[in-house]
Amino acid sequence: MKTAQELQLENEQLRAEIQHRDSQIKQQDAALKQNKFLIQNLQTQLASLQKHKFGSSSEKNKNQLPLFNEAEQIIDSKPKVKGRGKKKKAGVRKPLPEALQREEQVHDLPSDKKTCPKDGTELKHIGEDTSEQLKFIPASVKVIKHVCYKYACPKCNKHIVTADKPADPIPKSIATPELLSYITTSKYADGLPLYRLSQMFNRLDIKISRTNLANWMIKCGSSIQPLINMLEDQLLDQPVIHMDETTVQVLKEPGKKASSKSYMWVRRAANIILFDYSPSRSATVAKKLTQDYQGTLMCDGYGGYDQLPNNKLGCWAHARRYFIKVLDQGEHTGARDMVELIGELYAIEKQIKNQPPDQRLTTRGEQSAAVLKKIKALKDASLQTCTPTSTFGKALGYLHNQWPKLTRYIETGEYPIDNNAAENAIRPFVIGRKNWLFADSTGGAKASSNLYSLIETAKAHGLNPEPYLTHIYQQLPNTKTVEDIEQLLPWHYKPES
């Protein structure tokens, strides 16, 4: 039989062994837990990449919100039950515009069918049925031949004078204002690459190389710089500016590889939209674009904006997008609740959209503030139980870091709730980029920024960009004063002019 001292020693050894094993188990559990989170994050990244590469990009996908049309869908966060009402009647076709030229074609019965087959009586004309169709006439071109008369003094034969022809937008070029306007609109409004336009002209037996077209666009972009400067002065006087940026590839950029990324920045205030090309996305660029601006900026959570001294608003569309990403990976109660609460904020905004600022302020103070309290409570509670590196944790982290900016919009009735205005403004550039893929040079990128600015601002003012650009290219060479240039701004243009 073991002595008490031996039993005590054995007991201590067993305890030490148990503690050692407990320590090993804890280390293994921690490693397993860490590996589990790592696997979950890798699975999330893989699912996100697969969705990006192979997933549907249609706006009809019920589980995916398109990047630039998100705010419109935020309001209807909850699934809708399809009603069992009466079948919707077919819509009535909208009449063709009265201003279009009409060509009447009369269709009559042949003579042998103008008698009654029963009794041979001659049929009487009692009316007619009319319908209209739309005929497309392919584009046509013509050559403008300028004949400038010359006069000389028959007595001294020394005084000779030649009649002037209209000033050209590009001196010594074959391009008329109408042709330049068509090319500009086709590329920057319709997203047609210049090589396709060159092919289209070739089908008309007109040889215009892509290089020529590119040079014309660079010169056009440079010629409208005075207009862009005036638009920028007007934009910097606005109380709120929306800002965003997207990538662009420039092949021949000094000091950079052809495959490297450059950026196209967009600023929007009211109906003024300006694009600015820059080789980088640094805070220095943001500071330059907002130099001397005293108003408020609406922007996303990019850190470069944090270095600006301006009062800043956060974008609820961006905040919500992170929670939508969580739901893309599967159902998640916390993310679903957050999406529905943010949807309530947008439902309030929809109701007060057309109200004056003072009424919007009152409603936001009474209704939106209460919803924000619920969102904050859910955020704070979820942060205590969520892993920061998970998709839901990252969504909560963005919401938490941006919270002061996100809640600032209820301080006045004039502040927007999101940066959707900037994203809508940058959409034509993103769509066009899918077609032309890259800019060849920094000069081309700069010209593109100017031409996009003028076209998108014209569209924001309800103008058809092609006739407006024709007007610009016709009148700009004749301007002599600042007042002359100012009259070419979109809000002074009358289509009938």
pLDDT for 104-149, tens place per residue?
999 999 988 989 988 889 999 999 998 888 888 877 888 999 999 9
pLDDT at 89 exceeding the cut of 70: no
Rounded-to-10 torsion of CA 207, 211, 216, 218 = 170
**Residues in CB range of 298: below 8 A, 6 or more apart:** 240, 241, 242, 243, 312, 313, 315, 415, 416, 418, 419, 421, 422
pLDDT at 167 exceeding the cut of 70: yes
Indicate the pLDDT class of residue 329, thresholds 50, 70 and 90: confident
Q: Which of 391, 418, 445 is the last residue of a domain?
A: 418
> Whole-angstrom Cα distance, residue 103 to residue 329?
58
* Total count of domains within the chain: 2
Same domain, residue pair 437 and 307 = yes
Long-range contacts of 227-234 (CB under 8 A, 24+ apart): 227/454, 227/472, 227/476, 227/485, 227/488, 227/489, 228/274, 228/450, 228/453, 228/454, 230/485, 230/486, 230/489, 231/272, 231/274, 231/453, 231/454, 231/457, 231/489, 232/274, 234/272
Does the residue 257 lie in any domain? yes
**Residues in CB range of 389: below 8 A, 6 or more apart:** 37, 41
Give me the pLDDT at residue 34, please.
63
Give me the pLDDT at residue 38, please.
64
Indicate the pLDDT class of residue 435, thresholds 50, 70 and 90: low
Cα angle 470, 474, 475 (rounded to 5 degrees) comes to 120
In this prediction, what percent of the chain has a pLDDT beyond 70? 84
Does the residue 64 lie in any domain? no
Angle between helical axes of 177-188 and 420-436 (0-180°, round to 10): 100
Give me the pLDDT at residue 8, please.
79
Give me the pLDDT at residue 78, please.
47
Give me the pLDDT at residue 275, please.
94
Give me the pLDDT at residue 257, please.
74
Does the residue 160 lie in any domain? no
Does the residue 115 lie in any domain? no
Q: Which of 363, 398, 418 is the last residue of a domain?
A: 418
Same domain, residue pair 441 and 411 = no
Average pLDDT of 409-426?
Answer: 91
Same domain, residue pair 189 and 303 = yes
Same domain, residue pair 265 and 234 = yes
Does the residue 72 lie in any domain? no
Same domain, residue pair 333 and 430 = no
Average pLDDT of 353-369?
Answer: 94
User: Whole-model pTM?
Assistant: 0.75
Cα angle 376, 422, 303 (rounded to 5 degrees) comes to 55
User: Domain containing 433: what range?
Assistant: 179-312+423-497
Does the residue 384 lie in any domain? yes
> Whole-angstrom Cα distance, residue 247 to residue 260?
10
Strand partners, 162: 150
Q: Which of 360, 393, 418 is the last residue of a domain?
A: 418
Same domain, residue pair 455 and 319 = no
Does the residue 83 lie in any domain? no
Same domain, residue pair 273 and 411 = no
Same domain, residue pair 357 and 291 = no
Same domain, residue pair 274 and 400 = no
Same domain, residue pair 201 and 329 = no
Same domain, residue pair 370 and 345 = yes
pLDDT at 84 exceeding the cut of 60: no
pLDDT at 409 exceeding the cut of 50: yes
Does the residue 11 lie in any domain? no
Same domain, residue pair 227 and 252 = yes
